[in-house]
A and B are shown apart, each in its own frame.
Chain A
C-alpha cells in the first residue's frame, strides 16, 4: 500500500517553456500532498503544501506564480513550472500524506528530473 506515482520521470525542456508534473496516490486518498525540490547532495526542500480543494501553501521564498500547484482531487496534485529557466533544473519530488501508527507519514513519488536548456 501507500504507492505514489509521479509523471514524467524525466523531462528536458527549453528555457521559457512550461512543464507540468503530476503526482498521484494510487491506493489511498491523500488530502494533503507536498512538493519538494532537491539539489545534488542536498536535502529535500519543501516548496509547498497542497490541500485538496483549496489553495496551496507556499514556503517562504517560493514564488507561487512560478510554481503553480493544483490539487483537484484526493488522488492527484499537479505542479507546473512556468517559464522555466536553467536555474529551475532540479529533482522535483511529491509526497502524499496519510496517518500512520505514529502520526503523519509521507510516501514519496519517484521524482521528476527536470533539465532546462
Chain B
C-alpha cells in the first residue's frame, strides 16, 4: 500500500464549479499534512497546511480526518487558473521528510 494515495483524475470541471479531492495516508502516526499545487513543468508550491480542526483560505478548504486517515481539499468557485496538479503531502513521524502523493489533476474549463 502506498504511503499517500490520491485519485489521479483528471477532474474536468466548468468554471464556477465546486470540486473536492481526497487523499488517504497509511501511517497513523503522521504529524503534519499539506496540500501543494504543481503547475506543468514547474516546482510544487505550498497551497495550504491542513490543521486538525480544518482550515479555510479563501476559496480553499482543507480538512483532516485522523480516525479515517484521510485529508480533503475543497475548491469553491473554480477559476481557470486553478488548473494544476494538486499534491497531497504528509510528514510522517520520522523527522522532517515529506511523503508526496502522485497528485490529482484538475482542469477547469470555460
Contacts and interface: CB of A to CB of B under 8 A. Distances in A.
A43 B102 CA distance: 5
Interface in A20-50: 32, 34, 42-44, 46, 49
Interface residues of A, number: 23
A100 interface: yes
B50 interface: yes
Contacts of A100: 49
Given A43-B101, A110-B43, A104 B32 contact: yes
Question: Which of B33, B50, B91 is packed against the most chain A CB atoms within 10 Å?
Answer: B91
26 contacts: A32-B96, A43-B87, A43-B103, A44-B44, A49-B97, A93-B43, A97-B96, A100-B49, A101-B49, A102-B50, A103-B31, A103-B96, A104-B32, A104-B91, A104-B98, A105-B34, A105-B49, A106-B46, A106-B96, A106-B98, A108-B43, A108-B44, A109-B43, A110-B42, A110-B43, A111-B42
Interface of A: 32, 34, 42-44, 46, 49, 91, 93, 97, 100-111, 113
Interface of B: 31-34, 41-46, 49-51, 87, 91, 95-98, 100-103
